[in-house]
Structures are given as C-alpha cells and as structure tokens.
Structure 1
Amino acid sequence: MTLPFVRSLLHDRFLHLLVLTGVLLSVWQPFHPAAWLTAIDWHTIVTLSGLMLLTKGVELSGYFDVVGRKMVRRFVTERQLALFLLLAAALLSTFLTNDVALFIVVPLTITLKKWCAIPINRLIIFEALAVNAGSLLTPIGNPQNILLWGRSGLSFTAFSWQMAPLALAMVLTLVALCWLCFPAKALHYQSADRTPPWQPKLVGCCLAFYLIFLLALELRLELWGLALLVAGFLALERKVVFSVDWTLLLVFMAMFIDVYLLTRLSLLQTLLGGIGQYGDVRLWLTAIGLSQVISNVPSTILLLNYVSPSLLLAWAVNVGGFGLLPGSLANLIALRMANDRRIWWRFHLYSLPMLLWAATVGYLLLVCLR
C-alpha cells in the first residue's frame, strides 16, 4: 500500500521544486526545522485531508460515474452537454474543493470520446474555469478560502454569503460564454455503454461522514472529525485511506514553509512592508497580480502576513485564479489530465479575457457593496 505513495513522491516535480526552493531560501534566511510546525496552517491541512478522504470514498463507490453516464445520455445537443458539465463542475467545487471536483468531472469528460464526437479540450478548459468560479462561494471550496475562513472567525454561512455576489457573477458569465462557444449541434452517440456497478452503502456512509465532518469544522473540532473519518473508512473500506493522494498535503505544507521563509527575507519585507497601508485599488491589483506569478494559495499565505482576511482580499485572490496558468493549481490539474499539448496555449484564449472581466466586475461589485 505504501508503494503508490512512494512512487507519487518520487514523481511529483512540483513538490520537488517547493522543497528545493525551501532549501535555497534557508541559505539566505536560516529557518530551524523545529519551528516548521508553527509555519504550517494545520486547520487548512486537516480540512483538506478530510475532503480528500470523502471524495475518494465517493469516487471508489462508482456513484459519480453511474450518475454521469446516465445523465449524459439524456442530452440532445453539444450545448446542453457542455452547460451540464460546466454547472456540475461549479456545483461540485463548492463542497469538494476545486481540485477535487476536477478529479471527478474531467475523467468523466474524457470518457465521452468513446460515445460521441465533442470538443473535449474546450470542455476541460471551461471546467477548469468553472471550478475556480464555483469554489469561491464556500469556505471549503478551495484552499485559499479554507485558509481565509480559518483566519476570519466567520461562520460557514456568513463567509458564503459575503462571497455569493462574486460567485454568482462569475458563474453567470461562464454560462453565457459557454452558450456562445458550444453550438446547438445534435450529438450522435457512437456506441452503447453498460452502467457500471456501484456501492450504495459506501455512498451513504460518505454522505453521513461529510455532514459529521462539516459539523466538526463549524465547531472547530476538525481534528476529531478527521480522526472519525479515518477510523470509519478503515472499518468500512480501507482502500479509501490508502488511495488518497497524500503527497498533495505535502505540497501545501511545503508551500506554507516556503512562504514563511520568503517573508523573512529582508528584501521582500522592504517591498511588502507598506502593503498594510495600500489603498483598495492597489491592494486589489497586488493580490491578483501576485496570484498570477506564484498561484493564489501561496499569495494568500503571503499576504495574510501583512493584511487582514478582508472581503477585498478574499475576492482578489479568487479572481487571481483566472488568467495565467499558475494562477490556480486547479488549472494545472485540469490541463495535465487532458494530456494534450495544444490545450496549454488554448486555455489562455479563454482565461485571460476572463481575468480582465472578473477583475473589473469584481471591483465594481465590491464598491457597490460598501
């Protein structure tokens, strides 16, 4: 069971880059390993762990595959199918995180090639944009929201309510764009496909576990909630625990440590020292721009060292997930699963205009709400 983990550890180039970055930063700014534990936001790590377990449980049950195949067969046109997949990706990302939603929707999309001729790459691009838009709604929709929620002290409902205007605007924008980019061309299915078996008991337990874990998060008892999930899956279906990509947690831990080391550099402290006095426009553009370079999760970690977890910051780092490929790890995950080189540059034909639109509309909404 440990072999897949070791193999993933050896082949995770992004993790290797983060570790190397930490080593290089330690040369200029020594950071004692004993203090690493305090640099990691454990609320974020524990929350991600629980969500990854729950998602893997549903995935191994076969339930999403069954529902997806049945519903896809009901659509008549390419536009209907595209709208369904876009909205499904956005909805799933609100409670399973954007990265995890892609692990469900993108593989299903790729299997559609067996049934009918559709633009797979364009669908995957829209799904990547959709999870960035949908996930910004809830505290557990993406890693940066998990972090901001933990620092803000807001309840689950209060946090979601403040994010709702931007989330609604972005999802409606994508629906309109999807309507224009996918024609109402009839779908011609090439072959039939039997519905695969699934495990209703495992699905039911995953739903119960999810509600319990959500309650544990609300009560700030996330560690107990995670322990219950692990114990439950070990008793019910231990394959769930051993199938989770635990190296993803190491990636986020390394991010926390790297950003901590980065903030200790005297040069960066000089550059960002006055960020707390930035006006709204300057802070808005700084958070979005920084996300384009180092991704929105590290940007959130870095900026929270200088500014409070305000509504402006929450909106800005989520808007920063659009645009360039590094803006969100969800972008990288989606395009890597597509396994087609052409999708890497085509993605920016949609994502860059989406960034400009989101930055403009988001700031105008922010001004109106104040």
Structure 2
Amino acid sequence: MTLLIIVTFAVVYLGMAIGHLPRLKVDRTGIAMLGAIVLLVAGAVTEGAAIKAIDFPTLFILLGLMILSAQFALSGFYDWCAWRLANVPWRPEALLAAVVVVAGGLSALLANDVVVFAMTPLLCAGLRARGLDARPYLIALAGAANAGSAATVIGNPQNILIGQLGHLGFWRFLFACGVPAFLSLVIVYWVVARVWRGRLSDGQAPALVNRGEGPPDAPRAWQLSKGLIGVVVLLVAFTTAFPRDVAVLGIAGCMLVSRRFASRDMLGLVDWHLLALFAGLFILTGALADTGLPGQLVDQLAASGLALDRLPFLGAFSVLASNSIGNVPAVVLLMKVWAHPPEGALYALALFSTLAGNLLLPGSLANIITVERAAAVGVTLGFRDHARCGVPMTVLSLLLATVWLLAMGYIAAV
C-alpha cells in the first residue's frame, strides 16, 4: 500500500502543478478529492484514518470566516467599495493607491479570496466607464489582497492553517508579520505605478459599458453594522483562551440568523471547493505521513544541514511550491511532515508562502479568481501582464520580509 500512496500522492501534486488533469475538466479540487477517493477505495486509508487526518478546527475557522465575509457581501459593502473606488474623482495614481489600501485592509480581516471575488467585476465596470485600462488596477487588487492578507492569522487559508496548528496568537502574529505586510503594500503600489507609468490613463472606449448605469445602493446600515460587530467580537475572542474554531462558528451562526438574508444565499457565497480541497489534501498528506517516509526525509535534510526552520529551505520551498502546486497545498504538505516547527519559522512560512503567491498568476487563488472574474466581464489579464509586475513586487517583498525576520530573530540565515 505504501507504493500506492506514494504514486497517488505524486500524481495528485503533479496535477496540482499543472492545474488540471490532461484531456479532462478536473481542476485542483477535483484532483485532490479523486486522490483521497482512490486511497479509500483501495483500502490504503480507512474511514477512521481519513476522518482523523482532516483538521476540522481549521475547516471550521475557514467556513466561519467565509460566512462572516458573506455578510459584508450581501450587505452591499463590497459592491459599494468597488464602485466608489472606480468613480472617485481622483487622478489615476491616487485611484491606484486607493485600490491597494482598500484591498489590503479588507484582506487582513476577511478572506482575501472573497474580497477579490466580490470586488473585481464592479471595479472593472467602473474603470471601463471612465475609459481606464483595468489591467494595472486588477494587478494591484490581487497583489494588495495577497500582501495585506499576510498581516494576520485570519487573512488567508494558509495563515489560518499555520496559526491553528502552531497555536499562534492573533496579536503576536500581527506584530511579527504586520510590518513586512504593510511594506509589501507600498511595494505593490510602487511597482504597478512604475511599470504602468504614463499608461494608467490609457484604456478602452468608455462606450464599452452603459454610462447610464447608476451606482449600487449604499450598504444596508444594520447589516453592515452586524458584520462589523462580528469582526470586533472575533478579534476580542482571539485574544482569549476560548477555542478559535468555536468562536468563529458562533459568530457565523449569528450572521446566519437574519430576517433579510436567506441562509441559502449566505451559504452560497461559501467557497465549498476550497474546503473540499483542504479535506482532500489533509487525507493525502496524512496517508503519506503515516508511511514514515516524510519523517525520514526531514531527518536526512536536517543531517545534511538543510533544516526546515532555516532561511534557505523556507525561502526556496515557498517560492517554488507556491508557484507550482499552489501556496495552500504547499503549506498543507509541509505542516503535515513538520513535527515541531519553531514559532518564528511559522511566521516566516506564512509571510513567504503568501508573498510568493504574487510572483506568477497561478501562485495564489486570489490571482486566479481575479483573472477569471475579470474575464467574465470582458477584461483580459494575461500571464505576461501580471508577471511584469508580479516578479519585481515579489522579489522586493521577499527581500524586505527576510531582512525583517532576520533582524527580529525569527529565523536563522543558515
């Protein structure tokens, strides 16, 4: 069975790197689920072992945050923010800065994937109505969402997993990662503004959209307040010893109790594909870990001087894995085989895996969501367009993060 587990694991992660199964319409989530199903059907993993391998507290936190974010989406807050950004009477450079600030700020407290999912279409419509090329603003939106999400333990799925398994406090995490995340937002703005300098005002004809379309309704005051109260309660709960998953689910339950929004609509905004992806990967990596091979590999790396908590490994692994199999699968894999990671190394992993996602389009789910949502409204953001900004913003962000982590003593250089 060990051979079957190894082969299945290799095929699944190769499929993750490609993004789909050749000649089949099976995406990353489907690949992960199929891999888990193969192991279960073949008897390589029992039902009990599969359930035990799944980290349900992490899934509960993700689910709760998605429902909390759905409260903001249904209140009209995201639509209103996107419209205001696209229609504020500022110069293109100031508008670009506003996109970075709003996307980064929202992503630090809410799931970055949901933020770009909600904001991309209306932002595109508003920019095109003004005759602006939406591409640099979309690059800034995705880049800022990734960079801003690196600041907190609830900013993105991989941080949630790292924080949950490493028992990292919200405010300690913010202190460790907040400064490089903020500096990365500055870098995102500077790089996009410089690469697209002189062309931020260039765009397609305003006639491509209906100028008669009015702005969306203002956010519903009570529903927005309800979401804000939920965020405040969440932050307070994270400073106590109360179980995080229970606290987040409790807040999500309060969001579902509504006279205006149907629970079906709120649950419809949950990214069930991401939750299924996590579950499948938990089963696969758990089965591989049970073979003992990953532990032996870790011991051999340490014996050769390439310890997991050192800068060379964390940096190389984060950049290569995040831009091949994706940062979420990469972190799930590493956390499964890393027995007792130091706290400082976990901060480094969170920063590196998140910031590395800006390098290329497949590097993060936020990038992919932005491209797909933009394409749905007629705006094409190509691989090369993104890479022209993604490569320099990632290199500079990772350099600053490395200097910060070394200066604060979170990781060792060698």
TM-score > 0.5 by shorter chain? yes
Partner of 1:5: none
> What value does the CA root-mean-square deviation take over the aligned residues?
2.9
Deviations 1:280-309 (A, max 9, x none): 232222233222222112222222222515
Partner of 1:202: 223
- CA distance in 2 between counterparts of 1:79 and 1:238 reads 40
1:273 to 1:108, Cα distance in 2 relative to 1, 3 A: farther
> What is the identity, as a one-letter code, of the residue corresponding to 1:255?
L
Give the 3-state SS of the residue equivalent to 2:44 in structure 1. Answer: coil
Partner of 1:7: none
Given that 1:26 and 1:261 are in contact with CA atoms closer than 8 Å, whether structure 2 keeps it comes out as no
Whether 2:39 is the aligned partner of 1:39: answer no
Range with greater deviation from structure 2 (20-29 or 302-311): 20-29
Q: 2:274 aligns with which of 241, 245, 248?
A: 248
1:166 to 1:274, Cα distance in 2 relative to 1, 3 A: farther
- CA distance in 1 between counterparts of 2:394 and 2:255 reads 42
> What is the identity, as a one-letter code, of the residue corresponding to 1:222?
D
Whether 2:279 is the aligned partner of 1:259: answer no
Whether 2:196 is the aligned partner of 1:176: answer no
Per the TM alignment, residue 265 of structure 1 is displaced from its structure 2 partner at its CA by 5.5
Partner of 1:338: 374
Range with greater deviation from structure 2 (216-225 or 359-368): 216-225
Deviations 1:260-288 (A, max 9, x none): 23444666555444345625232222233
Q: 1:234 aligns with which of 243, 257, 279?
A: 257
Per the TM alignment, residue 360 of structure 1 is displaced from its structure 2 partner at its CA by 2.8
Partner of 1:301: 332
Give the 3-state SS of the residue equivalent to 1:229 in structure 2. Answer: helix
Given that 1:77 and 1:186 are in contact with CA atoms closer than 8 Å, whether structure 2 keeps it comes out as no
1:111 to 1:14, Cα distance in 2 relative to 1, 3 A: same
Give the 3-state SS of the residue equivalent to 2:130 in structure 1. Answer: coil
1:273 to 1:326, Cα distance in 2 relative to 1, 3 A: farther
- CA distance in 1 between counterparts of 2:247 and 2:351 reads 30
- CA distance in 1 between counterparts of 2:257 and 2:26 reads 26
Per the TM alignment, residue 67 of structure 1 is displaced from its structure 2 partner at its CA by 4.1
Q: 1:222 aligns with which of 232, 238, 245?
A: 245
Give the 3-state SS of the residue equivalent to 1:274 in structure 2. Answer: helix
Range with greater deviation from structure 2 (298-307 or 82-91): 298-307
Per the TM alignment, residue 102 of structure 1 is displaced from its structure 2 partner at its CA by 0.7
Given that 1:315 and 1:362 are in contact with CA atoms closer than 8 Å, whether structure 2 keeps it comes out as yes
- CA distance in 1 between counterparts of 2:255 and 2:397 reads 41
- CA distance in 2 between counterparts of 1:105 and 1:45 reads 24
- CA distance in 1 between counterparts of 2:201 and 2:319 reads 37
Q: Identity, % of aligned pairs? A: 24
1:44 to 1:89, Cα distance in 2 relative to 1, 3 A: same
Given that 1:29 and 1:261 are in contact with CA atoms closer than 8 Å, whether structure 2 keeps it comes out as no
Range with greater deviation from structure 2 (19-28 or 359-368): 19-28
Give the 3-state SS of the residue equivalent to 1:141 in structure 2. Answer: coil
Whether 2:72 is the aligned partner of 1:58: answer yes
Partner of 1:287: 318
> What is the identity, as a one-letter code, of the residue corresponding to 2:405?
L
1:95 to 1:83, Cα distance in 2 relative to 1, 3 A: same
Per the TM alignment, residue 63 of structure 1 is displaced from its structure 2 partner at its CA by 2.8
Whether 2:117 is the aligned partner of 1:103: answer yes
Q: How does 1:340-355 map to 2 (within 5 A)?
A: 343-355=382-394
Given that 1:124 and 1:334 are in contact with CA atoms closer than 8 Å, whether structure 2 keeps it comes out as yes
- CA distance in 1 between counterparts of 2:190 and 2:301 reads 36
> What is the identity, as a one-letter code, of the residue corresponding to 2:155?
G
Q: Which stretches in structure 2 are left out of the alignment for 5+ residues? A: 1-24, 410-414
- CA distance in 1 between counterparts of 2:90 and 2:255 reads 41
- CA distance in 1 between counterparts of 2:289 and 2:318 reads 15
> What is the identity, as a one-letter code, of the residue corresponding to 2:231?
Y
How many residues align structurally? 360
- CA distance in 2 between counterparts of 1:263 and 1:337 reads 37
TM-score, scaled relative to structure 2: 0.77
Per the TM alignment, residue 34 of structure 1 is displaced from its structure 2 partner at its CA by 1.5
Partner of 2:351: 315
Range with greater deviation from structure 2 (339-348 or 162-171): 339-348
1:315 to 1:247, Cα distance in 2 relative to 1, 3 A: closer
Range with greater deviation from structure 2 (133-142 or 79-88): 79-88
1:359 to 1:114, Cα distance in 2 relative to 1, 3 A: closer
Give the 3-state SS of the residue equivalent to 2:382 in structure 1. Answer: helix
Q: Which stretches in structure 1 are left out of the alignment for 5+ residues? A: 1-10
